[in-house]
């Protein structure tokens, strides 16, 4: 009823304040209904409904700007800025993104997807505003989980010197994807329960007032900038840095929040509003299982059960099982995650070996250097991380792990196209950013057994090594091909002549399909499972060059710095003049959408690859 009245940005300002509660309820129902069909980030959005309403009431968008950290909680913002219809194709190919996108709307001030960037970006917008002499308001919204990321502190440190207005809203739901971790989380928790301390303060003062020298004592306590003060005044950490702290406040009270944001606009300097929210608010299953409903697959609203329950093990499951076995065999094995114990499959390892499990918060850079320290101390660290998030830790991999040649294993999940999370999350750069680093080894399994074999191989190797595997079902084909893993050695699966397909990881399965299609045309095709991207098996390449006129490399990584370039380099150094075709991801960001569709779109599905090979065969030259 009220949501119907909201078609355009700022329409919320027409709603009577008495109806805010009803509007919030309608927004929640809308989000639950839509996300139950498309999938998406439910819990974080349900928790941020009132906060977003308050921002839209207190600000004048788009002149004023909101920077959403991670951006997964921006659905209500999208709803209130004329994008209601977009929810039917949320996260689908050419549909509305699940994250803020400047190209999608003038009301999205800054693109996000990875965590802990909003304060830096917001501060940049503030400085740009000031330099241009403008007067608009800039607000960065950051969650307590994202506040575990180091970049947030670099930004706070910088923002503290500011003499003009900058509003930071800390959306504190006491959860990251899983339970939040670490000292800051503890600190925020103490603030949450600050009423206890305030009562204590009052109690102490009242007791002292009743005594003879009570006044003097109270004054002494007040004068002393003691830890007592730290206890009784919430937000001292921020205040001491020079950031005005307002809170903690109820993040579900629209009117109060709106008033507070309006007050915060008057502060000449950085100001933090600490809003307490509940993840999944208003939907029972999401309140009870916040981790499961952080990023939900389509589900049945009544029960919260996924509409298409998984029946096949994915690579994460395989990794999870093997890690538990390895942990049992070798007490030096330790596992590290940057806030993704569920997503990376390390939860079982955590339950079995709590002392050897470390969740460091959303802190990939720290995770890698921490792992380097563990390795230098004689342990065998395995860093389980998503491909796109490891991008952050490039220097730590190079400077802290690889220069010292420390035996850190990188278990890189979600490598390749990930689908609906889109361009910020596609794991298509890891071969590129890893393969230029001396001492690093890189491999990718063709199927679920090979992931297990590679992990065992990796922990036995006394050097840095990365194993990258994709999101989704673990391939259970080619079971009979299980030659022992040897460093830098490929595996011949089919040995014929004429066309040689060198495929890496997920592309071995595609390579099989391509080979079938080519054979239907009467061609002879070899399929080689590359296994290693660094070092590549040059012997296998040269052997193939002798008996095949066309060499094709297949990978789910961008072409630049990828596997194919190494194959071509090997061929050119050795004077091989075979024709060559590089199947990889083009030099562009790949948007959100179904993975199979995306593969067709960029021409790396079996049919498109077969077409390209056939054309090449016909023309006798490269496409």
Ligand X SMILES: Cc1ncc(C[n+]2csc(CCOP(=O)(O)OP(=O)(O)O)c2C)c(N)n1
Residues that bind ligand X (CB under 6 A): 44, 47, 70, 72-73, 114-115, 143-146, 171, 173, 175-177, 279, 338-340, 362, 364, 389, 392
Q: What whole-number distance in Å separates Cα of residue 103 and Cα of residue 9?
A: 17
Q: Smallest distance, Å, CB 46 to ligand X?
A: 10
Q: What whole-number distance in Å separates Cα of residue 107 and Cα of residue 109?
A: 6
Q: Are 386 and 427 in contact (CB under 8 A)?
A: yes
Q: Hey, is 379 helix, strand or coil?
A: coil
Q: What whole-number distance in Å separates Cα of residue 264 and Cα of residue 133?
A: 20
CB-based contacts of 233, cutoff 8 Å, min separation 6: 239
CA dihedral (205, 209, 210, 212) positive or negative: positive
Q: Smallest distance, Å, CB 423 to ligand X?
A: 13
Q: Smallest distance, Å, CB 24 to ligand X?
A: 17
What distance lies between CA 208 and its chain's CA centroid? 52
Q: What whole-number distance in Å separates Cα of residue 470 and Cα of residue 582?
A: 20
- Residues across the chain: 623
Q: Are 95 and 419 in contact (CB under 8 A)?
A: no
State the helix-helix crossing angle for 595-602 and 606-619, rounded to 10 degrees: 20
CB-based contacts of 534, cutoff 8 Å, min separation 6: 434, 435, 440, 441, 442, 566
Q: Residue 320: count other Cβ atoms within 10 Å of its Cβ.
A: 18
Q: Which is nearer to ligand X, 279 or 548 (CB)?
A: 279
Q: Smallest distance, Å, CB 146 to ligand X?
A: 3
What distance lies between CA 207 and its chain's CA centroid? 51
CB-based contacts of 13, cutoff 8 Å, min separation 6: 56, 57
Q: Smallest distance, Å, CB 299 to ligand X?
A: 18
Q: Smallest distance, Å, CB 383 to ligand X?
A: 13
Q: Which is nearer to ligand X, 143 or 282 (CB)?
A: 143
Q: What whole-number distance in Å separates Cα of residue 419 and Cα of residue 439?
A: 32
Token couple for 124: 């940049």
Q: Residue 124: count other Cβ atoms within 10 Å of its Cβ.
A: 15
Pairing state between β 333-337 and 380-386: parallel
Q: Smallest distance, Å, CB 302 to ligand X?
A: 24
Tell me which residues are annotated as active site.
279, 364, 392
């Amino acid at each position: 009823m009220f949501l119907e009245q909201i078609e355009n940005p700022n329409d919320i300002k027409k709603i009577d304040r008495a109806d805010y509660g009803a509007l919030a309820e309608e927004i929640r129902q809308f989000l639950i209904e839509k996300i139950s069909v498309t999938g998406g980030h439910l819990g974080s959005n349900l928790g941020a409904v009132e906060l977003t309403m308050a921002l839209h009431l207190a600000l004048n968008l788009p002149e004023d700007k909101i920077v959403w950290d991670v951006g997964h909680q921006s659905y209500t913002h999208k709803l209130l800025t004329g994008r209601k219809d977009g929810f039917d194709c949320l996260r689908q190919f050419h549909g509305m993104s699940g994250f803020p996108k400047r190209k999608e709307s003038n009301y999205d001030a800054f693109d996000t997807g990875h965590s802990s960037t909003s304060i830096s970006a917001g501060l940049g917008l503030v400085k740009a505003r000031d330099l241009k002499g403008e007067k608009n308001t800039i607000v960065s919204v950051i969650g307590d989980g994202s506040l575990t990321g180091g970049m947030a502190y670099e930004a706070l440190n910088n923002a503290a010197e500011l003499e003009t207005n900058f509003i930071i809203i800390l959306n504190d739901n006491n959860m990251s994807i899983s339970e939040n971790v670490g000292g800051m989380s503890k600190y925020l928790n103490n603030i949450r329960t600050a009423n206890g301390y305030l009562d204590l303060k009052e109690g102490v003062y009242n007791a002292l007032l009743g005594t003879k020298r009570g006044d003097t004592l109270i004054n002494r306590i007040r004068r002393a900038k003691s830890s007592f003060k730290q206890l009784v005044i919430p937000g001292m950490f921020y205040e001491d840095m020079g950031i005005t702290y307002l809170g903690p406040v109820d993040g579900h009270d629209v009117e109060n929040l709106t008033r507070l944001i309006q007050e915060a606009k008057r502060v000449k300097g950085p100001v933090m509003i600490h809003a307490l929210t509940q993840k999944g608010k208003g939907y029972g299953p999401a309140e009870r299982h916040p981790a499961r409903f952080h990023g939900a697959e389509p589900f049945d609203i009544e029960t919260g059960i996924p509409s298409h329950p998984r029946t096949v093990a994915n690579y994460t499951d395989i990794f999870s099982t093997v890690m538990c076995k390895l942990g049992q065999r070798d007490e030096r094995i330790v596992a590290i995650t940057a806030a993704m114990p569920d997503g990376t499959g390390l939860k079982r390892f955590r339950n079995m070996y709590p002392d050897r499990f470390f969740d460091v918060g959303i802190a990939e850079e720290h995770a890698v250097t921490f792992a380097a320290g563990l390795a230098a101390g004689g342990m065998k660290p395995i860093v389980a991380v998503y491909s796109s998030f490891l991008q952050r830790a490039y220097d730590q991999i190079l400077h802290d792990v690889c220069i010292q040649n420390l035996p850190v294993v990188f278990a890189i999940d979600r490598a390749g196209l990930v689908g609906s999370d889109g361009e910020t999350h596609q794991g298509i750069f890891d071969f590129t950013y890893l393969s230029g680093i001396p001492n690093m080894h890189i491999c990718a399994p063709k199927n679920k057994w090979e992931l297990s074999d590679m992990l065992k191989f990796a922990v036995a190797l006394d050097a840095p090594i990365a194993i990258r595997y994709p999101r989704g079902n673990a391939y259970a084909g080619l079971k009979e091909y299980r030659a022992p893993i040897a460093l830098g050695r490929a595996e011949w699966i089919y040995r014929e002549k004429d066309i040689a397909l060198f495929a890496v990881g997920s592309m071995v399965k595609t390579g099989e399909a391509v080979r079938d299609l080519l054979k239907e045309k009467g061609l002879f095709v070899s399929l080689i499972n590359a296994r290693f991207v660094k070092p590549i098996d040059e012997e296998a390449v040269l052997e193939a060059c002798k008996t095949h006129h066309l060499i094709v490399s297949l990978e789910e990584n961008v072409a630049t710095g990828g596997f194919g370039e190494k194959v071509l380099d090997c061929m050119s150094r050795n004077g091989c003049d075979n024709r060559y075709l590089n199947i990889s991801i083009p030099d562009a960001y790949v948007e959100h959408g179904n993975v199979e569709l995306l593969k067709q779109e960029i021409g790396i599905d079996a049919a498109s690859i077969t077409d390209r090979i056939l054309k090449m065969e016909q023309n006798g030259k490269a496409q």
